[in-house]
A and B are shown apart, each in its own frame.
Chain A
Amino acid sequence: MNRLSRLTSTHIVYLVVLLTVIVGTILVGSVGRSFFSTGNISDILTGTSVLGFIAIGQTLVILVGSLDLSVPYVISLSSLIAAGIMANQGANVLPGVLAALAISALIGLANGLVVSGLKVHGFIATLGMGLIISGYLATNYQGSSGQAPLSFRLIGATGLGPVPISTLIMLATAGLVLLMLNRTRVGHHIYAVGGDLGVARMSGIRTRTPIITAHVLCSVMAGLAGLLLAARLGVGSPTIGSQGGYDLLSIAAVVLGGTLLAGGKGSLVGTLGGVLIFAMLDNIMSVMQINPFLKDVVRGLVIVIAVAVYARRTVITRPPRFEKSSTTPAREVSA
């Protein structure tokens, strides 16, 4: 019992991943295909990359105690800006990418300023921001536009063996963000502010900086996801983000990964597990040729059941800065 209760949510997430792999192997095998074939693994990893980018950013925002519902529109906007500037010219790839990311960062900055400065709940601030962008998109773009050059499209198409380049970029980004969360001041401040804004402020933390940082990074991640989608489609699309339902799916992936929705507790590694679970589910259901409407039913059930399984488990609070031994003597003193 004691050992069981010491399992953190991240452990449980990866146990669920393992369970999904086993179930997937059996189910995919039952229709005469191999779950571990190169093509299938490549499919699953491709599925992780877009949601992975968004979920990394969403983890930061949720950790700091906010939410980001504007991601689908940032994704669409970024894909349109990039494809529009590139206009099928190989030389324009860099300006296109930079412009898309800069606009995304500006949107994130606006989100962060509204949340931290005007004290608007992240739910409302980003819902409003999403609506603003959605109105802009609907007014200025009737359909897909722009054209990504071949050199840019290769990012979405090539891979090292079964691992697509896009997944590698996503994992590298995750590594950087993990380093930021665990090793830098602003990373620790994100946990502190998400845990309790008032306590963090009274401890002398400038609470605005981590909130703004998290929002800017989240929007930049959404921008990256938009770039990736533009590379895959070859064009920019005003509906690509909202069609995917990425706002709610990414929040679900983060919570599935064991991060508390209220903020302050959770881990990026768990989020990646949550993303992997979603990607494998999608893959299994596609191979099984399940009705697309039933897919949503399965997704909904898995989200609720998986979160219910470890709702009472301990959650990773923060990188251990104070050694655990320090609590033992304290208990002895009181006894």
Chain B
Amino acid sequence: MSVSENAQGTRNEILARNRSSAGDRLLRALRTPSGGVFILLIALLIAVIAANPSFGEPGSLIRFIGRTAPIAIAAIGQYFVIVSGEFDLSMGSVVTAQVFIAGNLIGDDDARVLPVLGLMFVFGAFIGLINGLVTTLLKVPSFIVTLGMMLALLGMVLYSTGGAATGNPADSFRQIGRGGIRDVPVLEIIPYPVIIFVVTAAAALWLMRRPYGRTLIAVGDNSRAAALTGARVWWVKTRAFMLSSLSATVAGIILVGYAGVHPSVGRGYEFTAITAVVLGGVVLGGGRGWVLSAAAGAFALETLFTLLNFLGVESTWRDSVQGIIIIVAVAAAAQTWQRKRRGASSRTHEPTHPIAPPPTVGTNERGI
């Protein structure tokens, strides 16, 4: 007992000796692509506020966060899949499908809101389960699985509704995306999407610090090594797909309030979400990146659009600017990762700072 306590003490001592100060560590984190996105976001925000000072008021800022919440939530969901080394292209179709389910099943009946909400979550989890099982058990590349799911799901939705918008869910349901807590002192209003986003982000952060999150990153980095250490790779990845579809469901619920029921709601969401995740410094192929950086990537993307709006850039050029920004951001990120890998001399590797106490003379593992 005392021996282990002693070892614990030495370990903490060595950790303290080798660790740089908190400020240093923060600076180093900001230099990685996952940290850099926050600097990019702040720079863009300052630029927007410079172009249009009224944007900086708390009221309009919180509304902006509310508007961006669905894509940020979708990006968090996509993060789980990308960090495990896969893709989810079915996200946009899931959003569209959920919007149609809400429109057709809820109608004007307030009593149906909760049951249909439950059904939508079950449906979302089910789609993710299929994506995950086909990817992991049938060994079909996730790009193909989710592409097939995207085509099939969208086709089904449009076929069953004749391709036109039908139904409009009850107002109480649309309030989830539209409404908010009113009469808040400084902010005037806290939109519900902001609350949903904060809860989702906190839950995602918590999940990534749990054993599941650590395993997910290990699986994304090297799934074979993870399997050899005893991780159930298929189930870890399948759950990532379920989380992605569930987050698309949440995004869909919010979007019903914002945009209403329309077949074009959710179109292109998968690529926007992937762009946001990659902008957040998460590496395609898995194993690297922070979940909140993915959400920050979504905010950076939306802030960029707002900036272009305020600068009076023709809306048709938005695509081009977005394209340039993605390429430049990812290129910069790629250079940073490379430099890190090349010059990986940290203090821990210096001989004067041993990483573990030297073994005591005369003992071996069995303690004889």
Contact = CB atoms under 8 A, between A and B. Distances in A.
A232 B141 CA distance: 35
A303 B155 contact: no
Interface in B105-157: 134, 138-141, 143-145, 147-156
Interface stretch (A16-24, A90-98, A125-133, A153-161): A125-133
B84 interface: no
B330 interface: yes
A297 B151 contact: yes
Nearest to A132: B323
Given A120-B327, A297-B152, A304 B145 contact: yes
A304 B138 CA distance: 10
Interface stretch (A32-40, A48-56, A200-208, A307-315): A307-315
Nearest to B89: A248
A118 B284 contact: no
B82 to A, nearest CB: 10
A192 to B, nearest CB: 19
B322 interface: yes
A318 interface: no
A11 interface: no
Interface residues of A, number: 41
Considering residues B89, B138, B155, B331, which has the most beta carbons from chain A within 10 angstroms of its beta carbon?
B155
B326 A312 contact: no
Interface stretch (A143-151, A162-170, A287-295, A325-333): A287-295
Given A128-B326, A132-B320, A139-B316, A304 B331 contact: no
Given A139-B314, A296-B155, A248 B147 contact: yes
Contacts of B322: 128, 131, 135
A269 interface: no
B304 to A, nearest CB: 12
A304 B148 contact: yes
Which of B89, B144, B321, B330 has the most C-beta atoms of chain A within 10 angstroms of its own C-beta? B144
A307 to B, nearest CB: 5
Interface string A170-203: 0000000000000000000000000000000000
A255 B284 CA distance: 19
Nearest to B158: A293
A303 B151 CA distance: 10
Interface string B304-328: 0000000000101111111111110
Contact of B151 (A130, A132, A134, A296): A296
Contacts of B335: 118-119
A301 interface: yes
A6 B170 CA distance: 59
A119 B331 contact: yes
A8 B159 CA distance: 37
Nearest to B318: A135
A83 interface: no
A308 B134 contact: yes
Contact of B327 (A128, A291, A303): A128
A295 to B, nearest CB: 7
Contacts of A251: 143, 147
B323 A127 contact: yes
A255 B141 contact: yes
B57 to A, nearest CB: 31
Contacts of A252: 144, 147-148
A261 interface: yes
Contacts of B61: none
Contacts of B89: 248
B316 A135 contact: yes
A128 B271 CA distance: 11
B334 interface: yes
Contacts of B141: 255, 261-262, 307
Contacts of A118: 327, 331, 334-335
A304 B134 contact: yes
Nearest to A70: B323
Contacts of A291: 159
B52 to A, nearest CB: 22
29 contacts: A120-B327, A120-B331, A121-B278, A121-B285, A125-B327, A127-B274, A131-B320, A131-B323, A133-B320, A135-B316, A135-B321, A138-B319, A139-B316, A139-B317, A251-B143, A261-B143, A261-B144, A291-B159, A295-B155, A300-B148, A300-B150, A300-B153, A303-B147, A304-B134, A304-B140, A304-B144, A304-B149, A307-B140, A308-B138
Given A255-B141, A307-B141, 17 more contacts: A120-B334, A121-B284, A123-B284, A124-B330, A127-B275, A128-B327, A131-B320, A248-B147, A252-B144, A293-B163, A294-B159, A295-B155, A297-B155, A299-B155, A301-B152, A308-B138, A311-B140
Q: What 6 A-B pairs come out closest when comparing CB atoms?
A: A135-B320, A131-B323, A296-B155, A300-B152, A300-B151, A135-B319
